[in-house]
Amino acid sequence: MGNCNCCIDARAFEPSEAKGGSAIDPKKTAMVAIEYQNEFCTDGGKLHPAVKEVMASTGMLANTTKVADAVRKTGAKVFHTPITLKADGSDNPNKGLGILAGCYKDQLFAAGTWNAEICDAMTPQPGDVVVKGKRGLDAFPGSDLEKLLKEHGIETVVLCGFLTNCCVESTMRTAYEKGFNVVTLTDCTATTSSEGQKAAADPKTGTYTMFSQPMTAAEFISALEKRGDE
């Protein structure tokens, strides 16, 4: 079965030090913005038609920019987490199955293209962090996300982006297992159907409740600013 790479499954915090349920401290908080790229966000992106209806229903892009502004003002960090894939599929971790097969077949998020660029509304600002190495659905494997979170002393991970029930939820589950305090911004996410959005992000019955504290953008901004004033 090859060599064991134990660091893949390592927890960021030991069980006795897990941060779940902690108060939100701006100095220890990172907003992890997943795949705010032209492929999803912008007219001309190959996946934009599939998500634009849910984007409009949640107001997710405008909400996200408001959160990003509040995060920067309070001293928390914005982490941009794009996915890029080589056109030949050589770095695609599962190009023959499921959604990643679709990425290969349709040449989605191809490295070096406009489609893979971060959209204008979420252009990285000075002090933001850009995560490198995301190739699959979960933002942790193969990327420098965890390394950067540790370097910045992050305990609370605040997730938003695409797709609600795919990359966002995949990353959420891993962050939860690693011992981070996890918040998900329900109206800063979008997917391909209202049914899929509700199944994941409904604040009472959605799967997000199993691995995080779901909050709206307004609720999170209020909590962040309250802590920042203390």
- Where does the pLDDT of residue 33 fall: very low under 50, low under 70, confident under 90, or very high at 90 and above? very high
**What angle separates helix 60-74 from helix 217-229, to the nearest 10 degrees?**
10
Encoded tokens for 97? 């199955």
Question: pLDDT at position 5, please?
Answer: 46
- Three-state SS letters, the chain: CCCCCHHHCCCCCCHHHCCCCCCCCHHHEEEEEECCEHHHHCCCCCCHHHHHHHHHHHCHHHHHHHHHHHHHHHCCEEEEECCCECCCCCCCCCCCCHHHHHHHHCCCCECCCHHHCECHHHCCCCCCEECCCCCCCCCCCCCCHHHHHHHCCCCEEEEEEECCCCHHHHHHHHHHHCCCEEEEEEEEEECCCHHHHHHHHCCCCCHHHHCCEEECHHHHHHHHHHHHHC
Long-range CB contacts (within 8 A, 24+) of 120-127: 120/42, 121/36, 121/41, 121/61, 121/64, 121/65, 122/33, 122/36, 122/41, 122/61, 122/64, 122/65, 122/68, 122/80, 124/78, 124/80, 125/68, 125/72, 125/78, 127/72, 127/77, 127/78
Mean pLDDT (whole number) for 189-217: 97
- Where does the pLDDT of residue 1 fall: very low under 50, low under 70, confident under 90, or very high at 90 and above? very low
Domain ranges of the chain: 24-229
Instruction: State what percent of residues in the chain have pLDDT above 90.
Output: 93
How far is it, in rounded angstroms, from Cα 56 to Cα 196?
A: 15
Encoded tokens for 102? 């679709």
Residues 207-217 as b or e (16 or more Cβ within 10 Å = b): bbeebbbbbbb
The contacts of residue 216 (CB under 8 Å, 6+ apart) are: 63, 185, 186, 187
Q: Convert the pLDDT of each residue in 124-168 to its tens digit.
A: 999 999 999 999 999 999 999 999 999 999 999 999 999 999 999
Mean pLDDT (whole number) for 48-64: 97
How far is it, in rounded angstroms, from Cα 92 to Cα 167?
A: 15
Question: pLDDT at position 10, please?
Answer: 84
Question: pLDDT at position 46, please?
Answer: 98
Q: Convert the pLDDT of each residue in 97-127 to its tens digit.
A: 999 999 999 999 999 999 999 999 999 999 9
Q: Does the pLDDT value for residue 3 go beyond 70?
A: no
Annotation: CATH topology of 24-229: Rossmann fold (3.40.50)
Distance of CA 38 to the CA centre of its chain: 15
Q: Does the pLDDT value for residue 18 go beyond 50?
A: yes
Question: pLDDT at position 4, please?
Answer: 46
